[in-house]
Amino acid sequence: MKTSLFLSGLMAASLAIASCSSDNATKTADSKTEIKAEASVPVTLADVVSHPRRADDAAVDKFRNPAETLAFFEVGPGKHVAEVWPGYYTPVLAPYLKENDGTYTAVLYPESFGERAINRNNAFKEKYSDADSFGAVQYGAFGQGHGAMIPAGTADIVISRRNVHNWMGGGYTDEAFAEFYAALKPGGILGIVEHRLPETMEQDPRGSSGYVQESYMKDMAARAGFEFVAASEINANPKDTADHPFGVWTLPPRSRTPEAGTPEAEGFDAELYKNIGESDRATLKFRKPL
């Protein structure tokens, strides 16, 4: 009788232990599932744009619309994005691509440009040296006469922001677009953001005002072999007439003002230009044919 009771008690205890172990295993499995689910939630462009590290850029996002612009250029998981003469987009692109199995290449000035370029490049590399935040940033170089900016056919997307007028001023727009074409994989995207000159105004071939017509940029891209895909009004500013005393640099963020006593100073209203905000911008997407 005692033996029977002992065995019954032992069996009950064993069942209780098994039940407890099963409950614990279920809880552990559930916990792992929750962790896995949390880890699998993708990091979006909007997430990165809203990160505290970008607090200094938040004030100008309303003019530059980084998440919407980069999405228009088809930035997404697993992509290799090369940014020409980077800056504003870097703290968005680098963390986003790190978290989404992509590659970010910052295409800097060639060091052959001199000490200023070297110092600027070193400062950039130091700023984005934290691999935990920005991933393993890759580097290339682009400038007049430099040659290939990155290995040919390796980028999914090449992006340039407010640079076309600089290449026009230097007389090497054809070289620039040819380099971008060479850098891209077949089917790759070239994304251009540039201060927009109305088609009704005369285009200076040197881009001295900082403004460039959409049609002018489309012609440049076509000469290099690109197909035009689409234009977006994401970065449009209808307040901007593109007709200012100091070109686009009259507007924020530069907000250039005339020296006292000069003809430009007479009647100059700095507040007027401040209220316009940043320039009206063309946002153009081109594709390298398959």
Q: For the chain, 290 residues long, give each residue's pLDDT as a single digit of tens.
A: 433 433 344 334 444 434 444 444 444 444 444 433 344 568 999 999 999 999 999 999 999 999 999 999 999 999 999 999 999 999 999 999 999 999 999 999 999 999 999 999 999 999 999 999 999 999 999 999 999 999 999 999 999 999 999 999 999 999 999 999 999 999 999 999 999 999 999 999 999 999 999 999 999 999 999 999 999 999 999 999 999 999 999 999 999 999 998 988 989 999 999 999 999 999 999 999 99
Cα 180 to the center of its chain, rounded Å: 16
Q: What is the DSSP letter of 163?
A: -
As a whole number of angstroms, the distance between CA 168 and CA 19 comes to 76
pTM summary value: 0.85
- Helix spans in the chain (H): 2-40, 45-49, 61-64, 66-72, 90-99, 115-127, 131-134, 164-170, 173-183, 214-224, 270-276
CATH topology of domain 43-287: Rossmann fold (3.40.50)
